[in-house]
Structure 1
Amino acid sequence: MELQLSQLFEDAGWMTYASLPFMAALIGWATNWLAIKMTFYPLHFQGVSPILGWQGVIPRKAEKMASVVVERTINRFGNMDDVFRKLEPEKITKHIISQIEPRIEEYIDEIMYERQAVLWDNLPYTVKRKVYQWAHNQIPRRIEGLVAEFGSELSSLIDVKELFVEELKKNPGLMVRIFQEVGGREFSFIVKSGLLFGLLFGLVQIPIWLQNSEFWMLPLFGFVVGFATNWLALNVIFRPLYPRSFFGFNVQGLFLKRQDEVSDVWSRLLAEELITVERAAHTMVFGRHADRTRAIIQKHIRPMLDQAGILKVVAQLTVGASGYVELKRALNDKAVQVSVEPFHDESFNKSRSGVVAAVMSDRMRALSPAEFQDVLRPAFQEEEFQLMLIGGVLGALTGVVQWMLMFS
């Protein structure tokens, strides 16, 4: 045996065998790097559907992830009404009034010229002023009532899961960006750890290779290194769930150890990018429950004309009952149209997003480690084995190349 080992060293040389751990480190780094890239990219399916191709795990699982996020975070609020109360509805009311009131006269002119241009052109300016003043007096009270009723009905008006899914369908890169920012440290660790884990596997490989230098050993070790480095990296991030003491050091999954920090970043990004007041308002008016939203708007706005005094009398005398009904319908349509305009204000959205983020973060911080990991991991956990397997296959191919370059 000693003679055989000596002959192997003479044939291949020390440098050849010393390169084995470094090659294993390269395989570990490359396969982990590729696994991370395949987690995020491509954003859309590339290849021949449904088998010969790939789409990033996170873009492909975005809808499922949205469901998990809603179930694990938003639904833990109790209901959307609780969120609304924390948003301080009086500030929302004040903001809407500040945005709409300066344009009341413009809105009235648009309605009248669209539906009853002749009537409006022939009305004395003093009558128009009375109409404008009537609107200025009525609108704030109507808006206050609207906001209050929306608040009490919010859970039945907004489907948070729908809001998430629709936004992610339009922008699949959004969830990728959120995950990259939230788990940047962990994903970087996965890539870098491939070097260390691969190097350790390579050191174990030397004595085994010296004992058995068959061709198939290098592809086998490449597969083991590619598969195992991915598996180890993922488990170091999420295991152990709870802090454990080893040789005087507290050890816990890297991601779980940062629960408070991750909760803050995750909540802030979701609140700023997905659960904004603007998107919530848009979902209410144009989403699945839009009919209910418009009915509430109509309930508060249409009676305004019945209290319009001289405008009501003039309208009924000049355009008749049907024309008057048309005016009421036009008023309601305009109210729906402008209902989302006040929420295009970026600074207002940002101030309210901070409130939502604080609530979400508090809830996430309070989760147990097992619950916390379930917010982010389960949606793509089923893909982990596939990613590790791809890493193993690539490692095996690298082993073949290694043999061809160094030993064949």
Structure 2
Amino acid sequence: MIPLIAAFVGWFTNWLAVQMIFYPIEFRGIPLYRRQEVPLGLLGWQGIIPCKTRPMTEAMVHMVTSQLLSVKEAFARLDPGQVANLLAPEVPALTRSVLKDVAPGWLTGGPAVLMSGLGGISQGAVRHLNIEFLKQLTISIQANIDTVFNLQNCVVNQMLQDRSKLGILFRKCGQKELDFLTNSGLWFGFLLGIIQMVVALFWENPWSLSIGGGIVGLATNWLALKWIFQPVDPVSLGPFGTIQGMFLRRQKEVAQEFSSYFANNVLNAEQLWKSVLTDPETKPAFAALFRDHVERFLGKLTFGAMLGLKSETISSWSNAAIEKLPQHVPVTYSYMDNQLGLQDTLRVRMERMTSRQFERVLHPIFEEDELTLILAGAALGFLAGLVQQGLETGAIKFPSRRRLWVWFRLRIQRPLRRFRNRRSR
């Protein structure tokens, strides 16, 4: 039964290690003492990814911006004229809404009253000015994209609002490796269990089951993690072929999954607009840019007269318009998603990454608390061995302090002393 139990221990500890990476989303336990962004509390646990969402996301964004994507290059693909044509039909409704909320009483009658105050300028001229306003605004956004849009804030804020989102991305990229990590525990554990069985046959000490269980739990986690990411670069074994970490051999497949999820769920047009219009760090820059264009638009509309409008009034109008823009920009989503082409850009450039660059896509989620996962496997394996020991002997008897001390001196202290003496010579 020892190899079979060892196989179960190996599988269970690896399965639990995977669960500990992703769950629970929120800390579960008694929060007597916790350090920030450390999954293990004094009495409780939070999944590694949900706990470390911020540093992991920042590292991922750094990888994306330094190796995969130029925001300025992507936004330059938009045609300002096309964006203007899509938004132009929304302008009348937006104008009515803004005038209703913030304009003086003489304007609350709507655009018709405003038109009468402009000397009867034609509707066609107003539409032309609207499109020109939107076109120039788009050009200014493209030219100042690094000021009005912060990619890191856009991604990090999303991940912090929904801490399961980053885990979903990593699962999509590394599900095969996660399944291997779980299932490999079964046969790694069985093979180690055979060794454990042989030891038990020649060493009649019930504690060999508990110690062996700890070793099985530790070794299965460690071996599986190494098998996934090592070696990073392909290593030729001559006639036996080439070996490389499992994850690294799937570069094209992972590139497809990563680019699809990232472009469609994280950096889609809806999230880009939301970041531009609401990010506290970049919203002031966009508001200033938008106000300048509103002022120029009103200047052209009134032939420079401005109808006595004060700077504060224009600012209040533009600010009100920005608050209402989220209701009107969805008409651009489909065009922007297609034109930006982020999925293809990310996929192609990720496929071209070197093995060492690509290894950093997924490995960080294991590296953050790799030792914790391995030690957790050892602890669980030891407990399983302890249960096995109890079933075999009918009782679990802990050795006395004296016996432990004698064992420590004979097995640890004396060999260590002899080793030190040999080195000193």
1:58 and 2:49 aligned? yes
Structure showing the higher helix proportion among its residues = 1
1:97 and 2:90 aligned? no
Residues in 1 aligned to 2:115 and 2:201: alpha-carbon distance in whole angstroms: 103
1:375 and 2:365 aligned? no
1:191 and 2:182 aligned? yes
Corresponding residue number in structure 2 for 1:385: 371
- CA drift of 1:120 comes to 5.0
Residues in 1 aligned to 2:236 and 2:66: alpha-carbon distance in whole angstroms: 35
Corresponding residue number in structure 1 for 2:13: 31
Corresponding residue number in structure 2 for 1:219: 210
**CA 1:132–1:120 in 2, change beyond 3 Å: closer, same or farther?**
farther
**CA 1:349–1:174 in 2, change beyond 3 Å: closer, same or farther?**
farther
Corresponding residue number in structure 2 for 1:262: 254
Corresponding residue number in structure 2 for 1:231: 222
- CA drift of 1:277 comes to 2.3
Residues in 2 aligned to 1:341 and 1:140: alpha-carbon distance in whole angstroms: 19
Corresponding residue number in structure 1 for 2:301: 308
- For 2:159, give the aligned amino acid: L
Spell out, residue by residue over 1:47-72, the C-alpha distance to the aligned partner (whole angstroms, 9 max, x if none). Answer: 12312211111111211111111111
Give the number of the structure with larger relative contact order, counting CA–CA contacts within 8 Å between residues 6 or more apart: 1
From 104, 108, 111, the counterpart of 2:95? 108
Residues in 1 aligned to 2:185 and 2:166: alpha-carbon distance in whole angstroms: 25
- CA drift of 1:281 comes to 2.1
**CA 1:166–1:403 in 2, change beyond 3 Å: closer, same or farther?**
same
- Asked whether the 8 Å contact 1:131–1:308 carries over to 2, the reply is no
Corresponding residue number in structure 1 for 2:380: 394
- CA drift of 1:37 comes to 0.4
Q: Alignment partner of 1:307: what SS?
A: helix
Residues in 2 aligned to 1:274 and 1:124: alpha-carbon distance in whole angstroms: 43
- Asked whether the 8 Å contact 2:69–2:346 carries over to 1, the reply is no
Matches within 5 A, 1:37-76: 37-49=19-31, 50=34, 51=41, 52-76=43-67
Residues in 2 aligned to 1:143 and 1:351: alpha-carbon distance in whole angstroms: 20
- CA drift of 1:95 comes to 3.7
Residues in 1 aligned to 2:245 and 2:28: alpha-carbon distance in whole angstroms: 33
- CA drift of 1:174 comes to 0.5
Residues in 1 aligned to 2:153 and 2:272: alpha-carbon distance in whole angstroms: 10
Q: Alignment partner of 1:378: what SS?
A: helix
**CA 1:389–1:199 in 2, change beyond 3 Å: closer, same or farther?**
same
Corresponding residue number in structure 2 for 1:12: none
1:127 and 2:120 aligned? no
Q: Give the percent of matched residue pairs that are identical in Structure 1 and Structure 2.
A: 26
Matches within 5 A, 1:128-277: 130=121, 132-246=123-237, 247-277=239-269
From 383, 388, 392, the counterpart of 1:406? 392
Corresponding residue number in structure 2 for 1:13: none
Q: Alignment partner of 1:150: what SS?
A: helix
- Asked whether the 8 Å contact 2:83–2:138 carries over to 1, the reply is no
Q: Tell me, which stretches of 5 or more residues in structure 1 are unaligned?
A: 1-18
Residues in 1 aligned to 2:51 and 2:184: alpha-carbon distance in whole angstroms: 26
TM-score (norm 1): 0.85
Q: Alignment partner of 1:89: what SS?
A: coil
- For 1:302, give the aligned amino acid: E
- CA drift of 1:234 comes to 0.8
- Asked whether the 8 Å contact 2:54–2:156 carries over to 1, the reply is yes
- For 2:151, give the aligned amino acid: V
- Asked whether the 8 Å contact 2:48–2:365 carries over to 1, the reply is no
- CA drift of 1:334 comes to 4.2
**CA 1:104–1:378 in 2, change beyond 3 Å: closer, same or farther?**
closer
Q: Alignment partner of 1:38: what SS?
A: helix
- CA drift of 1:150 comes to 1.2
- Asked whether the 8 Å contact 1:284–1:290 carries over to 2, the reply is yes
Spell out, residue by residue over 1:183-208, the C-alpha distance to the aligned partner (whole angstroms, 9 max, x if none). Answer: 11110111111111001001111221
Spell out, residue by residue over 1:340-377, the C-alpha distance to the aligned partner (whole angstroms, 9 max, x if none). Answer: 44543554454356x11221222222221111111221
Q: Tell me, which stretches of 5 or more residues in structure 2 are unaligned?
A: 35-40, 395-425
Q: Alignment partner of 2:301: what SS?
A: coil
- For 1:364, give the aligned amino acid: M
Residues in 2 aligned to 1:119 and 1:341: alpha-carbon distance in whole angstroms: 22
Q: Alignment partner of 1:47: what SS?
A: strand
Corresponding residue number in structure 1 for 2:270: 278
- For 2:93, give the aligned amino acid: E
Moved more, 35-44 or 64-73: 64-73
Residues in 2 aligned to 1:363 and 1:183: alpha-carbon distance in whole angstroms: 19
TM-score (norm 2): 0.82
Residues in 2 aligned to 1:46 and 1:388: alpha-carbon distance in whole angstroms: 21
1:291 and 2:273 aligned? no
Corresponding residue number in structure 2 for 1:14: none
